[in-house]
Structure 1
């Protein structure tokens, strides 16, 4: 009998304790946002086209701590950011999807895609139009230069945006799966680190590089090689080989074959098919609806 009474009393205390605990609300405000986020049409479109399918956050507003404090930067115009977001998806994500399927972009796309209105300039006053950080973030600059005139000029679009997209994505792919270090040894003695900005196109070509920036170091050389190849027409690529001379062209071709092999074996991407897709899509930009977010 005593045991039953004790058990009953214990159950009562437990029940009272449970009720008392459940009645206690949080005494401090939550550290997590509790209000619904109000998103404009562009932000809703970004969720649908970047965040949900690819887990990519697109930042078009300057966010504290997300930009390099060494640069003086201007925020991106929201309308131009929307136009560029449509183009990026069409010419970068969709081009890779077409050639390799959606899983590559889903697994390898930067987790953060940042748009900045102005250019960034180094201490040497060289212009920075894009950066990739740690395999998770790509920043694109000069968004506010996306004028109607620039939109009609493929070479400027390539210079400002297309080349940068593919260059920075190559860095991410290399960070996830390193390329063969033998690549860096092909023109090892001619890398000049930060002094590349003083080199001409002709000098770079003759030494086996597709651009002066490729002379900075091996990883930049690799990214330049792929991004140039997939955004240049066959005639433009042949112009580089012609300008490089016999020796320079031979070195460039040797590097290209290593890039081709890497992309094929590591990512199942045929760079000639990718080039065809990129150039075809680049030729269709004028037909894109850049004013309606669907």
Structure 2
């Protein structure tokens, strides 16, 4: 009871201190400050370029509830966060906007990007590049490594941009599902979590997949074929198809090419799905993405300016 009375007395004293001030006291200003951090020039730029036109929020400051407590996460570097925000805006959001219209981007693009400084490493040796939640949020990891790869388009795709395109496919699929015929093409070839084992890391093209991860399940296969196609130049896509070709004993292309046929059928279904469901031309999206990525890596697009 004494402890309770003491606590109430202290609380009353604190309240009195906030509501009155005598000339004998040093200051009337409360020592308790607002938890809100003052907006930086970057915050103002994000408000103008993401929130206002697209209702998209970039969460670049570290927040516990956006990190995975199973991993050692660190805050994203502010300077590299500026650069990544520019790259996302120019090569992803604005590419889709030009190809499909701003209404498409506003409606379907994820509404929150959360930046974290480090990648997340799993016990099996896999590196987690990013995650999507509920069709609304994408966590992008490894932001503090951006400066090491920003001038190399393939690395930029591998570590950041393909993740965004891949997760965006999942979001679009949640709105309108892709045709069920897609999953029948390689129905017996999905291997779940074994996709990262030695047996499946190579030769996946000949089995009808564009990446090792495609072999996990049908839903990931669809996201991989779309995202891989979007970031591939015609020459890069041709190289993928060539790896799918099976050679006979005389080192000539075999009569039957199940892997090549499967990849081509999957891409045809994906293109038709985007055209019929959303009136989006994937070829146009790809051309714009590649053109804009080239602008970034060759330095013709400024990824540092905030005015």
Quote the residue 2:78 is aligned against: 78
How far did 1:49 drift?
Answer: 0.9
How far is 1:200 from its partner? 4.8
Aligned with residue 283 of structure 1, among 294, 297, 301? 294
The answer as to whether partners of 1:135 and 1:176 remain within 8 angstroms in 2 is: no
TM-score (normalised: structure 1) = 0.85
Partners in 2 of 1:141 and 1:124 — Cα distance?
A: 18
Q: Relative to structure 1, is the Cα distance of residues 160 and 258 closer, same or farther in structure 2, using a 3 angstrom cutoff?
A: same
Find the aligned partners of 1:139 and 1:35 in 2 and give their Cα distance: 24
Query: 2:162 corresponds to which residue?
Result: 163
CA distance in 2, matches of 1:50, 1:184: 36
Alignment of 1:103-118 (within 5 A): 103-118=103-118
Q: Deviations over 1:35-58 (max 9, x none)?
A: 986200101111111111111111
1:262 aligns with 2:273: yes
Measure, in 2, the Cα distance between the counterparts of 1:123 and 1:266: 40
Q: Distance in 1 between matches of 2:235 and 2:50?
A: 34
Which structure's residues are more often helix, by fraction?
1
SS for the counterpart of 1:146 is: helix
TM-score computed with the length of structure 2 as normaliser: 0.81
Counterpart mapping for 1:69-218 below 5 A: 69-147=69-147, 149-198=148-197, 199-200=199-200, 202-218=202-218
Q: Residue 117 and residue 36 in structure 1: after superposition, are their counterparts in 2 closer, same or farther (change >3 A)?
A: closer
SS in 1 for 2:203: helix
* In structure 2, C-alpha distance between the alignment counterparts of 1:136 and 1:99, rounded to whole Å: 21
> 1:112: Cα distance to partner?
1.0
Q: 1:23-62 to 2 correspondence within 5 Å?
A: 38-62=38-62
Partners of 1:134 and 1:175 within 8 A in 2: no
1:181 is displaced (CA, Å) by 2.1
1:70 Cα shift? 2.2
Runs of 5+ unmatched residues, structure 2: 1-33, 246-256
SS in 2 for 1:114: strand
Question: Does the Cα contact within 8 Å between 2:86 and 2:304 map onto a contact in 1?
Answer: no
Distance 1:119 1:171 in 2: 21
Structure 1, unaligned runs of 5 or more: 1-33
1:27 match: none
The answer to whether the 8 Å contact 2:274/2:281 transfers is yes
> For the Cα contact (< 8 Å) 2:195–2:201, is it kept in 1?
no
SS in 1 for 2:105: helix
CA contact (8 A) 1:71 1:121 kept: yes
Instruction: Give the aligned length.
Output: 261
| Structure 2 Cα separation of the partners of residues 96 and 293 of structure 1 | 22
**Cα displacement (A) at 1:135:** 0.4
Distance 1:87 1:254 in 2: 32
